[in-house]
Chain A
Amino acid sequence: DGGITQSPKYLFRKEGQNVTLSCEQNLNHDAMYWYRQDPGQGLRLIYYSQIVNDFQKGDIAEGYSVSREKKESFPLTVTSAQKNPTAFYLCASSSGQAAADTQYFGPGTRLTVL
């Protein structure tokens, strides 16, 4: 069954802690993305990667870090420098082969800071 998985579904973080959100895809897609969704706001791009071992900052990268060591995986670390990390985090992937290829989303991780 092809798709995108994210784990965990719910994550609780204490202030000052770093946490890592997992994103895996078996669609053989080259490009992967991380978005943040807050109530009443559209999805905002945090980081994206169009190829293994390369990634670019999105619109709200401060306080986040990523790695892309394998084609299938694109983990996101929320660092203690992120001042307001409570949000719904969405990972997406696309083939990366077309000028406007469709992005497919995972089920999301809800992060809450205690």
Chain B
Amino acid sequence: EDQVTQSPEALRLQEGESSSLNCSYTVSGLRGLFWYRQDPGKGPEFLFTLYSAGEEKEKERLKATLTKKESFLHITAPKPEDSATYLCAVQGASNTGKLIFGQGTTLQVKP
């Protein structure tokens, strides 16, 4: 069964304090791993798609990396506006069109 686990559940950082969020996954035939950002009371906003181990993508202070078992979302010198819940999801070969989501990591960045 495809599964996604995110850690930690919650993370508090001081502004400028870099850190990483983890997404561990079990999937038969990874087709894609997706990262989303979700603000309270809003729909998820797409950040990145990673397709194969070794792939990396960057956007402003965020960098996503992928191995065969996990993905990391690295946040460099975060700002208070980076505070949100970050969701990870996978799509496997046996689940065409279906995303399996982790529970999310809620990030709070204090000024």
A residues adjacent to B (C-beta < 8 A) = 4, 6, 31, 33, 40-45, 48, 50, 58, 90, 94, 96, 99-100, 102-108, 110
Partner of B103, one of A41, A45, A58, A110: A41
Q: Is there an interface contact between A50 and B103, defined as CB atoms closer than 8 Å? A: no
Task: Give which listed residue, A94, A100, A107, contacts B31 with CB less than 8 A.
Answer: A100
The chain B residue sitting closest to A94, CB to CB, is B97
| Residue on A nearest B95 in the bound complex, by CB | A45
Any chain A CB within 8 A of the CB of B87?
yes
Shortest B17–chain A CB gap in Å is 26
Whole-angstrom distance between the alpha carbons of A100 and B97 in the complex?
Answer: 7
Tell me if B42 and A42 are in contact (CB < 8 A). no
Contact status B97-A110, CB under 8 Å: no
B111 located at the interface, meaning its Cβ lies under 8 Å from any Cβ of chain A in the complex: no
Give the complex CA separation of A105 and B89 in angstroms. Answer: 13
- In angstroms, how far is the closest chain B Cβ from the Cβ of A60? 12
Contact between chains at B31 and A40 (CB < 8 Å): no
Interface residues of B (CB under 8 A from A): 4, 31-32, 34, 36, 41-46, 49, 51, 87, 89, 91, 96-104
Q: Which residues of B contact A100 (CB under 8 A)?
A: 31-32, 49, 51, 91
CA–CA, A96 and B91, complex, Å: 13
**Closest partner residue, chain B, to A49 (CB atom):** B97
Q: A40-B103, A42-B87 are in contact. Are A58 and B43 (CB under 8 A)?
A: no
Tell me the minimal C-beta distance from B1 to chain A in angstroms: 11
Bound-state CA distance A104–B43 (Å) is: 9
Contacts of B43 in A (CB 8 A): 4, 6, 90, 105-108
CA distance A104 to B87 in the complex (A): 13
Contact A42–B102 (Cβ < 8 Å): yes
Chain A residues with Cβ below 8 Å from B100 are 42
Q: Contact between B98 and A90 (Cβ–Cβ < 8 Å)?
A: no
A96 partner residues in chain B, CB cutoff 8 A: 97
A105 near B44 with CB under 8 A, answer: yes
